[in-house]
Amino acid sequence: MTSVIRGLTDLALVGYLWAAVLALVALRRPGGNPVPARLAAWLAWGVHTLALVLLAVTYGRAPVGGLHEALSALVWAVVAWHLWMERRFRVAALGAFVLPVAAVLGLAAAAMPGSLLAFRSSPEVGWLWVHGLLLLFGFGAFALNFAGGLMYLLQERQLKSRRPGPVSLRLPSLELLDRLTFQALVLGFPFLTFGLLLGVLAAAAGEGLRLGPTQGLSLLTWGIYAATLYVRLVRGWRGRRAAYFAIAGFVAVVVTLSVGLALPSRHIRLL
């Protein structure tokens, strides 16, 4: 069954790569059709969902046991948020900014060794599974927040130049992009907050609280998004400044994930 699961995951990755290529081509080509990229993303996501379900059923645990599985689940969450947000806001060009991110994360997951971790029945481990899933959904939503901010800055620059290119013609209005960016932030922040809180509680119930590089960067990432939410809701920040915050937050997410991959994981030892 392990080989079947890995085969389905690899097939989904091929689908994501192809969807990213189709989305980029549609973005650059005048009159490009985004439907093939959307269909490819849906098919790949469906195959990926099947792989994760089989993994969960086979091993009796959440599909986040190890670096390969965690990154794979993150890719699934990014694409899931993308498909929902694309449908909600009707932004055909969104895939060209999100699917390449998912494809790169998928390639990183493929380079990681697989995991055969068995589920240990203990309250701490159970909370860690939930902790990991919440963080992955939060990070997935922040990928959409990043894409919206990037599209906003690109569209603003094109409009100010008064020489809009083919990319600008495919992008929606600045107002819609700002709303998309804010929606992704509002969706992702509760997942990040409760995920970190559960991690702290699980650590306190187990080996005790330890502030390592990954934990410190996670708190920094939370602080950036908390500040972004504050300035948007209280100070009324919109547009370019909010877009810069969205990009800074996702850079912090990438750094946190990179450090978590490079350093030995305490989470894996507990599982």
What confidence tens digit (pLDDT) does each residue in 192-204 have? 999 888 877 776 6
Which pLDDT score is estimated for 115?
54
For residue 131, count CB atoms less than 10 angstroms from its CB and return exposed for 0-12, middle for 13-18, buried for 19 or more: buried
Which pLDDT score is estimated for 263?
67
* Torsional sign, CA 118, 213, 250, 161: negative
Task: Please report which residue ranges of 60-91 form alpha helices under DSSP H.
Answer: 67-89
Which pLDDT score is estimated for 129?
76
Which pLDDT score is estimated for 1?
77
* Per-residue CA distances from 160 to 157, 164, 166, 199, 241 (Å): 5, 9, 15, 45, 16
What residues make up the domain containing 218? 2-270
Question: For the chain, what is the domain count?
Answer: 1
Tokens 């792989």 belong to 51
- Please tell me whether residue 166 adopts helix, strand or coil conformation: helix
Which pLDDT score is estimated for 62?
77
Residues (pLDDT < 70) of the chain are 30-31, 65, 113-127, 164, 203-211, 261-271
Which pLDDT score is estimated for 32?
73
Which pLDDT score is estimated for 86?
92
Which pLDDT score is estimated for 231?
93
- pLDDT tens for 28-86 read 876 678 899 999 999 999 999 999 999 888 887 777 767 788 889 999 999 999 999 99
Task: Please report which residue ranges of the chain form alpha helices under DSSP H.
Answer: 2-28, 35-59, 67-89, 94-111, 123-161, 166-170, 174-205, 213-233, 239-262, 266-270
